Amino acid sequence: MVSPLLFWFVAFVTVIPALSLLFARKPVHVAAAVVLVMVGLAVAYVALEAPFLGAVQIIVYTGAVMMLFLFVLMLVGVDKTESLKETITGQRWVALTLAVGLGALVISVVSRLPLSVNEQPVVGEPAEVASWLFGDYVLVVEVLGFVLISAALGALVLTHVPRLYPKRTQAEVHAARIAAGANPVNQAFPGVYARHNALDAPALDPEGNPIESSVSRVLKVRGQTIDGSEFKGDTQARRRELGAKEDDQ
C-alpha cells in the first residue's frame, strides 16, 4: 500500500508542472518543469516497489534525456517564444476533447476493475531485475542493442560534420590575415578605466579617442555600449587639477 500523502505529493509535482506543456510560452520553462515531472515519477516508482527503476528514471530521464532537451533548446535559440494562437480554427477544441476524452475513458474503465493488490510484491531490486532481463527477456535486450546502434548512427548521420577543409596551422592563419590586410597584432581590448571596467566601453587610443573595434560587435548591435567619451577628460585641465592639488600640499 502507498501512503496517501505520498500519492498526493507525487500527483502534485507531476500534474502541475506537466500542465506547463500546454500553457507555458518558453520552451526552457517547460523543459525545467518536465524535469520536475520526471523526478516525481521516480518517487512514484520507488513507492511502487521499483527502486531500481526509480534510480534509472532519475539517471536516464532527468540526467540524460531532459538535459539533452535543454542543450538542444540552447542550441536552436532559447529566447524564442511561441505564439499560442491556433492556426486551424477549432483545432484546439477538437484536440482537447480527444485528449480529455481519452483520459476520462481510461479512468472510467480502470475504475471498474476489481481491485486486488498483491500484499507481498516482489521488490524490483537490481539483482531481481537482472534475472528477468537475462531470462525470458534476453532477446529484447539484444534487440535493444540494435536500437541503440541505429539511434547513434542516425544522430551521427544528421549532425556530424567531417573535416571538409584542410586543417590550417597557426602560421597559415596568420599569413592569410596579413595577406588580407588585417592588423598583424592583437586588437585593442575594451576599455579599462579607473571608473569603469567593462566590455561595453571602448579603449582609448594615445590621443584619447575611442577605438571602435575594441568593443564586441554583438554588444554594438544590441545597443548595449557606451561610447567612452565621458572618460575622455580634458587632459590639460585634469593635469592642472592634479597639479593644483599638489600645490595645495
Partner 1 sequence: MSPVNFVYLAAVLFAIGAATVLLRRNAIMAFMGVELMLNAANLTLVAFSRMVGGIEGQIMAFFVMVVAAAEVVVGLAIIIAVSRARQSISLDEPSELKG
Partner 2 sequence: MTYNVPEIAWAPLVPIIVVLVAGAVGVLLEAFMRNVALRRVVQLQLSVATLVLALFAIVWQWVAIGGDGVVVLRSMIYLDRQALAWQFLLVVFAIGGVLLFADRNREGEDAFTPLASVAPGSPDETVARAKGLAVTEAFPLAMLATGGMMLFASVNDLLFLFVALELFSLPLYILVALSRRRRLLSQEASLKYFLLGAFSSAIFLFGAALVYGAAETTGMRELLGLYVPERQTLLLLGLFMVVVGLLFKIGAVPFHFWVPDAYQGAPSPVTAFMAAATKAAAVAALARLSYLVLFRFAWELDWVIWTVAIASVIFGTVLAIVQTDVKRMLAYSSVAHAGFILVGFAGFSPLALSALPFYLLTYGVATLGAFAVITQVRELTPDGAAGAEATRLGQWAGLGKRHPVLAGLMSLFLLSFAGIPLTAGFVGKFVVFRAAVEQGAWPLVVVAVLASAAAAFFYLRLVVLMYFTDAPDDASPRVEVRPTGIGRGVAIAAGVIVLVLGVLPAGALNLADEAGVLLSPPVVTGG
Residues 92-151 that bind partner 2 (CB under 8 A): 105-106, 109-110, 112-114, 127-128, 131, 134-140, 143-144, 146-147, 149-151
DSSP string, 21-35: HHH-S-HHHHHHHHH
Residue 164 binds partner 1 (CB under 8 A):
no
Cα–Cα distances (Å) from 73 to 32, 38, 50, in that order, read: 11, 18, 32
The least CB distance from residue 99 to partner 1, in Å, is 4
Residue 198 interacts with which of partner 1, partner 2, none, CB < 5 to 8 Å by class: none
Residue 124 neighbours by CB distance under 10 Å: 19
Nearer to partner 1, 49 or 200 (CB): 49
Amino acid at 174: H
Kindly state whether residue 10 participates in binding partner 1, applying the rule CB under 8 A.
yes
5 binds partner 2 (CB under 8 A): no
DSSP string, 212-233: GGGS-HHHHHHT----SGGG--
Q: Determine if 133 is a binding residue for partner 1 (CB under 8 A).
A: yes
Q: In the complex, what is the shortest distance from the CB of residue 161 to partner 2, in angstroms, rounded to a whole number? A: 5
121 binds partner 1 (CB under 8 A): yes
- Cell reading at 188: 585593442
**Smallest distance, partner 2 to C-beta of residue 175, A:** 22
Q: Which is nearer to partner 2, 4 or 166 (CB)?
A: 166
For residue 204, the cross-strand partners are 210
Restricted to residues 27-66, the positions that interact with partner 1 (CB under 8 A) are 27, 30-31, 34, 37-38, 41, 44-45, 48-50, 52-53, 56-57, 60-61, 64-65
Instruction: List CB contacts of 229: < 8 A, sequence separation 6 or more.
Output: 210
Minimum distance from CB of 140 to partner 2 (Å)? Answer: 5
User: Rounded to the nearest 5 degrees, what angle is found at the Cα of 79, between the Cα atoms of 73 and 85?
Assistant: 95
18 binds, among partner 1, partner 2, none (CB under 5 to 8 A by kind): partner 1
Contact (Cβ atoms closer than 8 angstroms) between residue 190 and residue 200: yes
Query: In terms of C-beta density within 10 A (0-12 exposed, 13-18 middle, 19 or more buried), how is residue 176 classed?
Result: exposed
Report the C-alpha gap between 167 and 184 in whole angstroms. 21
CB atoms under 10 Å from CB of 242, counted, come to 10
Q: Cβ 214 to partner 2, closest distance in Å?
A: 31
User: Is 74 a residue that touches partner 1 (CB under 8 A)?
Assistant: no
Binding site for partner 2 (CB under 8 A): 105-106, 109-110, 112-114, 127-128, 131, 134-140, 143-144, 146-147, 149-151, 153-154, 156-162, 164-165
